[in-house]
Amino acid sequence: MIEKVFIDPSDPVIVELPSYIGGLQVFQGYGTHMHGIATDHDGILVDVLEETLEQLKGTEEHYKFIYLVPDFQNPAGVTLSLERRKKIIELSKKYDVLIIEDTPFTLYEILDYGLL
């Protein structure tokens, strides 16, 4: 649904690597060109993200959104740090790019399942 609403098949999207295989399969099935940004123990590397946005800015490749799994990421299990979240919001405004936040694992559910 997000693909159909926000992008044309040739538009690129930005994803973190690794990322949720189900999300990537949807984007691939839609013919999207994905730009992968590496992650570490604090989540997506925001410096690399900024470089990529800067490179894509004004090119024919019109990026529309960044797909992120910020909490208990699947498959890496990392949670995006507060500092990087703030930076990503700043970049989203600066480069006029949407953030698609896929957060199926909320703290409420985790507590509900007795995992913490």
Binding status of residue 115 toward ligand PLP by CB under 6 A: no
Q: How far apart are the C-alpha atoms of 95 and 75, rounded to whole Å?
A: 28
Residue nearest to ligand PLP (CB): 74
> In degrees, to the nearest 5, what angle opens at C-alpha 40 toward C-alphas 35 and 41?
145
Element (H, E) at 91: helix 82-94
State which of positions 10-29 bind ligand PLP (CB under 6 A): 20, 22
Query: Binding string, 22-61, against ligand PLP, x = CB under 6 A?
Result: x---------------------------------------
